[in-house]
């Protein structure tokens, strides 16, 4: 095995299966957790194989990513050209108003855009898709701990998406209370009609699916790690999914509780979130906000932790150098998980919360910047003195470090109660969380797709198309979301159908037009990704077992892996980032697989 002549791209025919490997069950027949299915239905639809379920989640998420993306384009159209008919699709979508987006349709759009992107795009793609695909392969297991629960998790998600989709077609239309669905706007007081009720059910089912996944991931990581795969040898990706699952298991039930209470308020006339009056006792709308954000802030970390894990691994892989400060990185991830439980109040500074709580939540929120800073330092330390191969997955990762830098630092602005009094509920908040939840998470998603595509589908994605997708996406993402922060700084509130209704915002219209233009570019270039994805699946170059020349366990098996993943359960003898190891270089390559034996 020799080092490649052009070490900047994936390697043709590169294969690490040549090294001698240790095995935990030498001489034993293969013991798959479940037999390979024979029928088409069992193999592709009602499969219990984590690799199939992962791909099901991935496809479901990508479809909804496209739906949510189209909604974003429509929102941007209304902000750039208020009250003008939407070109091309306007008559079809908004026939009743002559192609113009009505105020009701607009509130529906931003509500469903947020709901879909968080719960039905990013969650299934990253956690459902890559979590399922990666966790067993990366820890050296033949499947999840509970394959049937895994299948139930996907089909619960499918039921949830069906419910959400149905909500568009009921009288009065879909939910319109924002993705946060603050009471009492989301109760019968502010939202009559079935749409909001179906939304509540859909979010509940979505949460149930997430909790099932979380139980599975936690159990799998704790119980099914291959011999020798101790916690300090786990790839950071696995750490990301492991910690995310803990937060999911702890806090998604809180959202579930809020949804149950909201459902009762809407359907059975209870008053958990409806204030009482002089003639009738009642509940408190603020209770809903507490429940929502007690889940909602950990949710940010639920989504970003897998991305951090993936980036931590990929930066090391493509810098051809061990991850810098692995243990500090893991400690930082754990610290973020712990802190994420006690900061949610910063979403509620303007509800008139008590000064003691306000100051505590401010300080605790700011403390999160310490572990986050350590993560950044370790990422930079990983690149320092490396030999970076600027492949597409690497480009997306570097792009993530950039956008997450802006998104993370602007979090401090909103943690500061004084600055937040002005910035709260403006587009500054929108730009800030989109830099993290949209820009950084999408870049991580694209990095993961390009990186694991060969293992998922047995073919390589086009590097050329990947770069053609990366650069316009990266530039326009930043223009859109930094632009949003600027108009938020200029005072523009979120969720306004027509900002020019306000005198003090009228001069921002040209800015909104430019932001929308950048957004259209962003939307248009996603077609490159769609083309690359489907074309490569059919016609891409056949992938070798280890095209990226890295040492984690999924690359020691064929692409795609056999049904039972590992013929022999590997015995892990080292960490996941042994790149540039002297013993490897002596053998004419620069990485060692986690289970490779050096004699």
Partner 1 sequence: MRLGIPHDASLDGHFVDGAIGYLTITTGIAFAVLVVVLLVSLVLYRARAGRPHGTYMHGDRLGDRTLTMAIGLTLFLAVDVTLAVRASTNLRERFWRYPDDDPNALRVEVSARQWSWTFRTAGPDGRFATADDVVTLNELHVPTSRPIYFKLRSKDVVHSLYLPSFRTKIDAIPGSTTRLWIQAQEPGRYEIGCAQHCGVSHYKMRGWLIAAPDAEYNGWLARAEIDSRLRYETRDPTVPQADKVWDDGWDWETGL
**Residues in 314-333 at the binding interface with partner 1, rule: CB under 8 A:** 319-328
Please report which helix (H) or strand (E) contains residue 448, including its range.
Answer: helix 441-457
17 contacts partner 1 (rule: CB under 8 A)? no
Any contact of residue 416 with partner 1 (CB under 8 A)? Answer: yes
Say if residues 136 and 142 touch (Cβ distance below 8 Å): yes
CB of 92 to partner 1, least distance (A): 22
Tell me the per-residue interface mask from 525 to 564 with partner 1, x by CB under 8 A, - otherwise: ----------------------------------------
Residues numbered 188-227 forming contacts with partner 1, rule: CB under 8 A: 189-190
Comparing CA positions, the residue from 121, 65, 112, 122 lying closest to residue 303 is: 122
Closer residue to partner 1, CB minimum distance, 23 or 180 = 180
Nearer to partner 1 among residue 286 and residue 468 (C-beta) = 286
Q: Which of 98, 359, 542, 598 binds partner 1 (CB under 8 A)?
A: 359
The dihedrals phi and psi of 591, each to the nearest 5 degrees, come to: -140, 160
- Closest approach, Cβ 395 to partner 1, in A, equals 10
Does residue 104 interact with partner 1 by CB under 8 A? yes
150 part of the interface to partner 1, by CB under 8 A:
no
Q: Which is nearer to partner 1, 191 or 569 (CB)?
A: 191
Encoding tokens for residue 440? 């950084």
Q: Which of 167, 184, 445, 532 binds partner 1 (CB under 8 A)?
A: 184
Token digits of residue 216: 């599975």
> What is the number of other CB atoms lying within 10 angstroms of the CB of residue 575?
20
**Residue 96 within binding range of partner 1, rule CB under 8 A:** no
Here the tokens at position 372 are 């986050």
Nearest Cα neighbor of 337 from 375, 310, 377 is: 375
Q: Binding residue for partner 1 (CB under 8 A) from 113, 389, 432, 469?
A: 389
100, 275, 475, 558: residue in contact with partner 1 (rule CB under 8 A): 275
Identify whether 184 is preceded by a cis peptide bond (ω within 30 of 0): yes
Residues 6 or more apart whose Cβ sits within 8 Å of residue 489: 423, 426, 428
Are 255 and 292 spatial neighbours (Cβ–Cβ below 8 Å)?
A: yes
Q: Which is nearer to partner 1, 137 or 415 (CB)?
A: 415
Positions in 488-507 near partner 1 (CB under 8 A): 489-491, 493-499, 501-504, 507
Verify binding: residue 352, partner 1, rule CB under 8 A. Answer: yes
Q: Work out which of 260, 390, 524, 598 binds partner 1, going by CB under 8 A.
A: 390
Closest alpha carbon to 312 in 392, 218, 400: 400
37 touching partner 1, by CB under 8 A? no
Could you tell me which stretch among 194-202, 213-221, 235-243, 409-417 binds partner 1 (CB under 8 A)?
Answer: 409-417
In a 3-state reduction of DSSP, which class is residue 571?
coil
Position among 100, 185, 249, 479 found at the interface with partner 1 (CB under 8 A) = 185
The length of the chain is 599
Q: CA 79, CA 378: separation in Å to the nearest integer?
A: 40
**b/e for 67-81, b at 16 or more Cβ within 10 A?**
bbbebbbbbbbbbbb
Q: Which of residues 224-253 bind partner 1 (CB under 8 A)?
A: none
Question: What is the SS3 assignment for 28-42?
Answer: CCCCCCCCCCCCHHH
* Candidate list 1, 93, 341, 367; residue touching partner 1; CB under 8 A: 367
């Amino acid at each position: 095995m020799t080092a490649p002549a052009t070490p900047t791209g994936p390697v043709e025919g590169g294969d690490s299966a040549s090294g001698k490997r240790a095995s935990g069950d030498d001489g034993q027949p293969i013991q798959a957790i479940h037999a390979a299915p024979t029928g088409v239905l069992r193999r592709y639809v009602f499969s219990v194989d984590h690799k199939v379920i992962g791909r099901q989640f991935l496809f479901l998420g990508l479809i909804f990513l496209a739906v949510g993306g189209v909604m974003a384009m429509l929102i941007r159209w209304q902000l750039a050209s208020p009250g003008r008919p939407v070109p091309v699709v306007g008559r079809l979508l908004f026939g009743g108003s002559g192609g113009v987006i009505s105020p009701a349709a607009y509130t529906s759009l931003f509500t469903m855009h947020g709901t879909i992107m968080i719960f039905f795009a990013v969650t299934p793609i990253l956690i459902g898709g890559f979590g399922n695909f990666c966790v067993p392969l990366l820890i050296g297991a033949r499947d999840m701990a509970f394959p049937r629960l895994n299948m139930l998790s996907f089909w619960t998600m499918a039921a949830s998406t069906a419910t959400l989709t149905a909500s568009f077609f009921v009288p009065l239309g879909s939910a319109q209370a924002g993705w946060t669905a603050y009471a009492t706007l989301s109760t019968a007081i502010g939202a009559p009609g079935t749409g909001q009720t179906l939304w509540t059910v859909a979010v509940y089912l979505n949460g149930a699916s997430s909790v099932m996944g979380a139980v599975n991931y936690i159990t799998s990581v704790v119980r099914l790690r291959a011999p020798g795969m101790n916690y300090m040898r786990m790839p950071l990706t696995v750490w990301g999914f492991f910690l995310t699952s803990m937060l999911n298991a702890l806090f998604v039930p809180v959202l579930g509780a809020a949804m149950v209470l909201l459902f009762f308020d809407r359907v059975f006339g209870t008053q958990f979130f409806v204030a009482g009056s002089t003639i009738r006792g009642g509940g408190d709308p603020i209770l809903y906000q507490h429940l929502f954000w007690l889940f909602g802030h950990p949710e940010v970390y639920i989504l970003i932790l897998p991305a951090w894990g993936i980036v931590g691994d990929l930066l090391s892989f493509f810098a051809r150098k061990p991850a810098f400060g692995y243990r500090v990185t893991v400690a930082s991830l754990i610290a973020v998980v712990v802190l994420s439980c006690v900061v949610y109040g910063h979403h509620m500074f303007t509800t008139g919360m008590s000064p003691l709580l306000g100051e505590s939540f401010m300080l605790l929120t700011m403390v999160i910047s310490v572990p986050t800073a350590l993560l950044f330092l370790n990422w930079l330390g990983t690149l320092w003195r490396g030999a970076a191969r600027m492949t597409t997955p690497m480009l997306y990762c570097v792009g993530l470090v950039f956008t997450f830098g802006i998104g993370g630092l602007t979090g401090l602005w909103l943690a500061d109660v004084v600055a937040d009094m002005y910035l709260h509920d403006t587009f500054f908040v929108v730009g800030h969380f989109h830099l993290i939840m949209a820009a950084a998470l999408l870049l991580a998603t694209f990095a993961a797709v390009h990186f694991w595509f060969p293992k998922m589908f047995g073919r390589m994605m086009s590097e050329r198309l990947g770069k053609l997708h990366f650069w316009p996406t990266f530039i326009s993402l930043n223009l859109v979301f930094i632009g949003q922060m600027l108009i938020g700084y200029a005072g523009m509130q979120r969720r306004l159908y027509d900002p020019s209704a306000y005198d003090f915002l009228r001069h921002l219209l040209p800015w909104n037009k430019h932001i929308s233009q950048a957004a259209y570019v962003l939307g248009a270039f996603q077609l490159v990704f769609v083309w690359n994805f489907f074309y490569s699946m059919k016609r891409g170059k056949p992938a070798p077992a280890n095209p990226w020349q890295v040492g984690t366990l999924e690359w020691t098996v064929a692409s795609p892996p056999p049904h039972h993943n590992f013929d022999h359960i590997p015995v892990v003898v080292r960490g996941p980032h042994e790149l540039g190891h002297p013993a490897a270089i002596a053998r004419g390559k620069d990485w060692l697989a986690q289970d490779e034996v050096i004699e």
